[in-house]
Amino acid sequence: MISKLNSAGGVLPAATRVFLMSLALLLTLLLVACGGGDKARPSPTAAPTSPSAASPSPSPPALSAGDIAIATIAVGSKPWAVAVNPATNRIYVANEFDGTVSVIDGVSNTVVATIPVGYMPWGLATNPETNRVYVVNGGDDSVSVIDASSDTVVATLAVGDLPKGIAVSPAANRVYVANSRSANVTVIDGASNEVLSTIAAGQEPTGVGVNGGNERLYVANLQSFTVSVIDGATGNERAILSVGDAPQAVAVNEDTGLAYIANGESATVSVIDGADDEVVDTIPVGGGPLSLALDPKAGRLYVVNAADSTIGVVETASGKVVSTTPADGMPWAVAVNPDTNRIYLAQRLSNTVLVIDGGRLQQATSPATIGVDADVDDNDDGTADNTATSLGAINSCASVDSGATFDVDIFVTDLARLRVWSAAFHYDPSVVSVVERDVQMLLAAKPGSQVKDQSLGDAGVSGSYDLLASDVSDEPAAEESGSGVLVRLTLRAVAGGVSNLTVGDPFLFPFQSVESTASAFVAVDEECPG
């Protein structure tokens, strides 16, 4: 239902209005935090050319990984490693203190099996082609081979001393294990579950990655601050490359031939060009980068910064960090499913795995922008250019005749996650008035949304129209992100003149800062200014 104003109403005193809006917002946040309201869903009630610098919102706490998580899944004690099989949408978590692997179903986000393995499981890798999972047991120098179709261990293989890192080449059906104390790499045949060979590496090899396209290995040597580049087919060393201090995690992009090395004590990621066997870039990240996960489809590299308790997002095309998000439970390992754009973050303090949508994580620390589109029907064809979840041409001014009614949109861009929003719409009441509003827009776009319109309005006289809407559903999937229309307002041109249209005091919950608000104009019985 579109909410209409009662123009016969009087104007509340300013102090009373502020109190009522604050009270309504507080009650709304409490309702949302408690996870719902009634189940009856009500029926439905751009950047200007020169955005104003007015009305930046207060700086709220940064969103944490827990804030934006789709699910938080309890696993075993002290999760150390996590791996994904995109073919089955199963996630595997190595629990160091339990000596187990938790199996998570990526659809239901629940643990569906717990598999006993060896002592102190420190590494995981999957082979989507054979549906096998390989677990490095650092405490007993072994690798457990799991048949993922039955969630059972089908073989246990002896490897080198104090194994830590592991990588799988599905194309060759080979498994590579970095043995830190014996300074070598064990090569396992995935078909026969037999050790084929042992390849010498540098001092304390801790991480290993493989490019299955050319069977090239990248071994991170923790103590020698180097990476050994090895031809996996022959076992011959191609190069030894100096990187940052304490390299310990490796991710390889087979499409570009680039290898990424997390340097734990340098707070950097080294980028190696596989064509020339040379370091071509060094990317500053957070403190103590410990784990990497690459999503080649999204062009993103996810970095767990253990010393900072954050997860960073690197845009691989530019080599720049585009966001850094706090994680409170001691983040330790990360994996990604490129097919679903879901990120899995293992946290050692809380013994949990966070499930995060990749889009939310990239936006988590980015501020939003809110603005006014003064001419919703730019083509004059009776169809709005904007929809609830997409923006067309944004116009900073509209010219209308006296007595005409017309729509304007209050829009938002770069939204990370939305449950509640409020704002004040400011205008000149001698030129225009507000006659209708529709908040069943972006906030109501997803199935399961239950949007309540708790706006106070202003009786069309004061020139400050208070807006408040909330989604009180208990469905996390109903939360909105991206860009779209918060509210569509129908205005009436009262008399000739020009009115500025601005948004003041914007508030987004869960807390996200608003970098700027973009204003617009409406000109009645005259041309737009400028």
- Superfamily of the domain at 70-298: YVTN repeat-like/Quinoprotein amine dehydrogenase (2.130.10.10)
pLDDT digits (tens, 9 = 90+) for 64-123: 777 778 899 999 999 999 999 999 999 999 999 999 999 999 999 999 999 999 999 999
DSSP-based three-state secondary structure for 407: strand
Q: Are 372 and 410 in contact (CB under 8 A)?
A: yes
User: Of 35-44, 224-233, 443-452, 460-469, which has the strongest mean pLDDT?
Assistant: 224-233
- What's the token pair of residue 96? 């160091």
Q: What is the DSSP string of 337-387?
A: ETTTTEEEEEETTTTEEEEEEHHHHHHTTSPEEEEEES-S-TTSSSS-S-B
CB atoms within 10 A of CB 436: 16
| pLDDT for residue 15 is more than 50 | no
Query: What is the band of 412 on the pLDDT scale with cuts at 50, 70, 90?
Result: very high
Per-residue pLDDT at 37: 43
Fold of 3-63+367-524: Immunoglobulin-like (2.60.40)
Whose tokens are 């997409």? That residue is: 390
| pLDDT for residue 464 is more than 80 | yes
| pLDDT for residue 369 is more than 80 | yes
87-124 exposure pattern, b = at least 16 Cβ within 10 A, e = fewer: eeebbbbbbbebbbbbbbebeebebebebebbebbbbb
Q: Are 136 and 124 in contact (CB under 8 A)?
A: yes
| pLDDT for residue 43 is more than 60 | no
> What is d(CA 210, CA 218) in angstroms, rounded to the nearest whole number?
6
Cα–Cα–Cα angle for 101, 105, 106, nearest 5°?
A: 120
- Report the half-sphere exposure of 264 (CA within 13 A, side-chain side): 18
| pLDDT for residue 502 is more than 50 | yes
Residue ranges of domains in the chain? 3-63+367-524, 70-298
Q: Are 242 and 262 in contact (CB under 8 A)?
A: no
pTM across the whole model: 0.67
